[in-house]
Amino acid sequence: MPIRLTRDSADFDQKFRQFLAAKREVSADVEAAARAIVDDVAKRGDAALIEATRKFDRLELDASSLRVTAAEIEAAVKACDAATLDALKFARDRIEAFHLKQLPQDQRFTDEAGVELGWRWSAIESAGLYVPGGTAAYPSSVLMNAIPARVAGVARLVMVVPAPDGKLNPLVLAAAQLGGVSEIYRVGGAQAVAALAHGTATIAPVVKIVGPGNAYVAAAKRLVFGKVGIDMIAGPSEVLVIADDSGNADWIAADLLAQAEHDASAQSILITDSRRLASDVARAVEGQLKTLPRAAIAGASWADFGAIIEVDHLDQAVPLADAIAAEHLEIMTADPDAFAAKVRNAGAIFLGAHTPEAIGDYVGGSNHVLPTARSARFSSGLGVLDFMKRTSLLKCGPDQLRALGPAAMTLGKAEGLDAHSRSVGIRLNLP
């Protein structure tokens, strides 16, 4: 049974803290194993990559078969259902339109002293997209990772996806083509991350790696962070629904289960000021579970990590929502915009009863790669800026150097950095 908390109970604070602190994932300590794989690929390149693929994916490759060919991609696209391809294209166009609005502006300005200042954004040269294999191989995630990179202007977009027993998901290849991926390699795990970071004879290195993966992939990304950029360490997904008495219990239950079906570690939470709704949703979840194909997964998630929190007044939900910092926040109240304005921490907010989170997963246009595990307190969903970097610009003439130089010299000397001071003084004939 999911946890039921009531805001006005005496032990609420303690129980809510426990709820927040509960670990939803066994943090398998795979660091040593991941490090051995990463080091091996860094040292031996393709040979190590091919060995690891034989071992973990039961797949025999050589340097010439690492890369998925154009003919294979074309064949995969042809094998896809036409309606699904159309839906992918519809999603692609909407995601692209949304992300085009994220392109940043350069800045250049001159201050009162005549100093020219500013900055300039540019795309990173290359990016690696990790795509998990097996059941978690989602074509929608390929679009969500590839399109912001393309919109940013990344010229070389390299996808890695494991092919356990040689199998690849045709829709994933189709999504890669629609998303503008430049190269695809049929490798996965820590070995694929290592190949992207260090490069091999076959796979040229990239400068940043994005995309979700299992514990080995996450550990490998943490290890190569610094040599290359990485996006984030993704955890299990979560949704928080905040609803008042107008909420439709069946709709809310469907949304909670849509989150829960991802993974037994996923989390679905309802906060409401309506005791009636709380009970109706609990009942509706049990009812809908009966006919859900992934009932085992969704049922486990709901039983182990699900929660219904009753508050006296919805204003009490605001600090709770900020503490939870949900990846997805659905607001179904009389004035969802006004309520959303009060919440600080959330990856994405879905406003009103007609915006189920699944719309954002696929076709809304905004990115579905969002901060999990309370990290919306300090990080953002994936976007165009993740594939760009900012270079600052500074320009002084002789007059500006005269105006600013003496203070710089004073600070250089105060910090014991005389050569700093001298590099200014030598231009101004100052000691």
Tell me how far CA of residue 21 lies from CA of 37, 131, 236, 256, in angstroms: 32, 29, 14, 21
96, 261, 327, 330: the active-site residue: 327
Residues 15-74 that bind a second copy (CB under 8 A): none
Stretch that binds a second copy, among 37-45, 160-168, 180-188, 390-398 (CB under 8 A): 390-398
Nearer to a second copy, 177 or 375 (CB): 375
Q: How far apart are CA 13 and CA 8, in angstroms?
A: 10
Instruction: Determine whether the annotation assigns residue 177 to a binding site.
Output: no
Q: Are 221 and 233 in contact (CB under 8 A)?
A: yes
328, 330, 357, 368: the active-site residue: 328
Q: How far apart are CA 283 and CA 274, in angstroms?
A: 14
Instruction: Determine whether the annotation assigns residue 328 to a binding site.
Output: yes
Which H or E element spans position 90? helix 82-100
Residues 289-348 that bind a second copy (CB under 8 A): 292-294, 298, 322, 336-337, 340, 344-348
Please name which of 101, 108, 356 lies closest in space to residue 243, comparing C-alpha atoms.
356
Q: Is residue 178 involved in binding a second copy (CB under 8 A)?
A: no
- List the structure tokens of 11: 């032990």
CB of 253 to a second copy, least distance (A): 9
- To 10 degrees, the CA torsion angle through 336, 342, 344, 345? -40
Strand (E) positions, 301-409? 307-310, 328-332, 348-351, 388-395
Q: How far apart are CA 261 and CA 251, in angstroms?
A: 15
Active site residue 327: yes
Instruction: Determine whether the annotation assigns residue 262 to a binding site.
Output: yes
Q: Which phi and psi (to 5°) does residue 180 adopt?
A: 85, 25
Q: Is residue 349 involved in binding a second copy (CB under 8 A)?
A: yes
CB of 329 to a second copy, least distance (A): 8
Residues 203-232 that bind a second copy (CB under 8 A): 207-208, 222, 225-226, 228-229, 232
Active site residue 354: no
Stretch that binds a second copy, among 45-53, 97-105, 183-191, 274-282 (CB under 8 A): 97-105
CB of 151 to a second copy, least distance (A): 15
Residues 102-131 that bind a second copy (CB under 8 A): 107, 109, 111, 115-117, 119, 122, 124-125
Q: Are 230 and 221 in contact (CB under 8 A)?
A: yes
Instruction: Determine whether the annotation assigns residue 415 to a binding site.
Output: yes
Q: Is residue 390 involved in binding a second copy (CB under 8 A)?
A: yes
Residue with tokens 């629609």, as numbered in its chain: 178
Write the binding mask 405 to 424 for a second copy: x where contact by CB under 8 A, - elsewhere: xxxx-xxx-xxxxxxxxxxx
Nearer to a second copy, 18 or 107 (CB): 107
Q: Are strands 116-123 and 107-110 parallel, antiparallel or unpaired?
A: antiparallel
Nearer to a second copy, 166 or 398 (CB): 398
β-pair partners for 47 = none
For the chain, the residue count is 431
Q: Are strands 126-130 and 156-160 parallel, antiparallel or unpaired?
A: parallel
Residues 236-275 that bind a second copy (CB under 8 A): 250-251, 254-255, 257-258, 260-262
Nearer to a second copy, 27 or 69 (CB): 27
List residues forming the annotated binding site for NAD(+).
130, 191, 214
* Catalytic annotation, residues: 327-328
